[in-house]
Structure 1
Amino acid sequence: MKHVIPSVAALAALITAASAADLPRRALPPAPIPLPVFTWTGIYFGINAGYISSTRDRVNTAGSYRGSNGAQTGSYTSTFTQHRNGFTGGGKVGYNHQFTPGSGFVVGAEADMGYTDLRRTSRFDFVGANTYRQSGDFLGTVRGRVGYAVDRTLFYGTGGFAYAGDTYRAAVSQTAAGPAYFGSRARLDTGYAVGGGVEYALPTESVLNVFHASAVTVKGEALYYDLGSRTIPVLPVRGGASIFATRFQNEGVLGRVGVNYKFGSY
């Protein structure tokens, strides 16, 4: 009997251990998949459209009337305002680098070029009609950008080089037979542009993502540009010694909205 009891106890222990081994194990929960953190780093291209308006609008003309012997017989000066405004639209390409994904500082560079509807002809009478025309056909910039991103929202300042294609024209003392004095010049004006804006990244599956980019962003910005002033000679058309010069100014502001397609990291 003394040998039976230990044997029964050992058998019971074995049965208990075997039953425990057959019990289903409680599996550990799967490790969570980390969500991707948005970054503004990458190249992008896009389109924009908006409104542009000149801010310094004075046109100044000065000169002297001279007789056939070259002696001055009189002088002439005039100043008037020729305000220009209209539509602007074009495209851009750029690159951003964000130092810390999620929220953090962003630096980049952007080049853009757009059509500008800055055409204005003014006329007033003074010993015949004086007609002045200033026409801006396009405006482009090459700028740096510095900003701070709060996840998908980027606030930035920008500044750099600006250029534009402009045509200047002046016709002084114009009659039915034509102007007595005329000058015209088409040129590429250069200067600078500064401004700022805000940009927001839409979800990747946005309906605007027709190019399957890593992100689609929408932006609004305002720029001030200064291309200086230009003086053109206004010379006699039908002979004579009189000579004039007209100075035009080329500064303005523009506000525009745009859509960008970013390629690179999420």
Structure 2
Amino acid sequence: MKRLLLATTVLAGLTAVASAADLPRRAAPPVFVPVPVFTWTGFYAGINAGYAFDAGKEGPNSFPVASRFTAAGVPQVATFKKDGQDGFSGGAQIGYNYQFTPGSGVVVGIEADAQYLDFGAKRRDSGVVAAPGFAINDPRGLSSLDYFGTVRGRLGYAFDRTLVYGTGGFAYGAGSSERDFGGFRGNDDFRTGYAVGGGIEYALPTESFFNFFRASAVTLKVEGLYVNLDRGNRNQGAFIINTANNAVVQSISTGRRDDEFAVVRAGLNYKFGTY
């Protein structure tokens, strides 16, 4: 009897174990891997290229010429046609951005750039034939602008990997100018002023083909700037000179002289720092 009871108990236990083995098992919870949120915070450096368009304004462009300075021996009016100075612009930039909330949010930053500018000096024909020994020229057409740079603040809003921003700050530039005609200061006429503008920038994936330097991001931007470089209040300029010694025979008032131009450019930046 005892043996029968023991055998029954063992058999019941084995049956229970087998039944438990057939029950569904609870799977382990999945491991949560957070998706990285892009941020514009970090240092960056890059290159840019574009085109610059003359946006300057001039004072009067017609001036009377006394008879003794004309080949015809009669008074005439010298009229100078404004020649726009347009040309290629290219250079490099470096800066830092800080984004208050990763993903989408306000972004502030600072950027400095240095640019080559192909604005050549131009002499403009007056339409009047000067008497022998004299030359007539427009004093506003005698200087070039060879380079410029800016140091600007940036303020924008990021929509994840797209940044829309405005920018503004200090600008400087210099170019050659003629020492012997027009009363300019020298061959490296340094000027200062300001620049304002805006743009849009997009961050490519980290594994982008352009990411040669293993940066945390590669960004592409399109930007427009208005640059105003003040040449000062030099109201007097040479108008007629004696060609024998470059002495100024007559000068004219040309008003305030600024270099004003707009730049449209595309840029490529490598961002380093916070991912």
TM-score by length of 1: 0.79
For 2:231 and 2:78, locate their aligned partners in 1 and report how far apart those are by CA, in whole Å: 17
Residues 195-241 of structure 1: CA distance to partner in whole angstroms, max 9, x if unpaired? 10000000111111111101000000101111134426549663878
The DSSP-based 3-state class of the residue aligned with 1:15 is: helix
1:134 aligns with 2:136: no
1:203 aligns with 2:205: yes
Aligned length: 247
Checking the alignment, whether the CA contact within 8 Å between 2:80 and 2:125 is kept in structure 1 is: no
For 1:253 and 1:240, locate their aligned partners in 2 and report how far apart those are by CA, in whole Å: 36
Pair 120,11 (structure 1): closer, same or farther in 2 beyond 3 Å = same
- Amino acid across the alignment from 2:18: S
1:214 aligns with 2:216: yes
In the TM superposition, residue 254 of structure 1 has moved relative to its aligned partner by 0.6
In the TM superposition, residue 54 of structure 1 has moved relative to its aligned partner by 1.3
Pair 134,20 (structure 1): closer, same or farther in 2 beyond 3 Å = farther
More strand by proportion, 1 or 2?
1
Pair 122,60 (structure 1): closer, same or farther in 2 beyond 3 Å = farther
Residues 45-75 of structure 1: CA distance to partner in whole angstroms, max 9, x if unpaired? 000000001111426688999xxxxxxxx9x
Pair 130,170 (structure 1): closer, same or farther in 2 beyond 3 Å = farther
Residues 79-105 of structure 1: CA distance to partner in whole angstroms, max 9, x if unpaired? 652310000000000000011111111
Higher alpha-carbon deviation: 79-88 or 210-219: 79-88
In the TM superposition, residue 18 of structure 1 has moved relative to its aligned partner by 3.2
Structure 2 unaligned residues grouped into runs of 5+: 67-74
1:154 aligns with 2:163: yes
Structure-2 residue corresponding to 1:176: none
For 2:211 and 2:125, locate their aligned partners in 1 and report how far apart those are by CA, in whole Å: 52
Checking the alignment, whether the CA contact within 8 Å between 2:210 and 2:218 is kept in structure 1 is: yes
Structure-1 residue corresponding to 2:54: 54
For 2:152 and 2:216, locate their aligned partners in 1 and report how far apart those are by CA, in whole Å: 24
In the TM superposition, residue 243 of structure 1 has moved relative to its aligned partner by 5.0
For 1:8 and 1:226, locate their aligned partners in 2 and report how far apart those are by CA, in whole Å: 104
For 2:5 and 2:153, locate their aligned partners in 1 and report how far apart those are by CA, in whole Å: 88
For 2:248 and 2:51, locate their aligned partners in 1 and report how far apart those are by CA, in whole Å: 43
Structure-1 residue corresponding to 2:230: 228
Structure 1 unaligned residues grouped into runs of 5+: 66-73, 172-180
1:244 aligns with 2:251: yes
Pair 264,240 (structure 1): closer, same or farther in 2 beyond 3 Å = closer
For 2:18 and 2:83, locate their aligned partners in 1 and report how far apart those are by CA, in whole Å: 98
The DSSP-based 3-state class of the residue aligned with 2:137 is: strand
TM-score by length of 2: 0.77
Structure-1 residue corresponding to 2:35: 35
Checking the alignment, whether the CA contact within 8 Å between 1:41 and 1:265 is kept in structure 2 is: yes
Pair 59,90 (structure 1): closer, same or farther in 2 beyond 3 Å = farther
For 1:239 and 1:254, locate their aligned partners in 2 and report how far apart those are by CA, in whole Å: 36
- Amino acid across the alignment from 2:35: L
Identity of aligned residues (%): 46
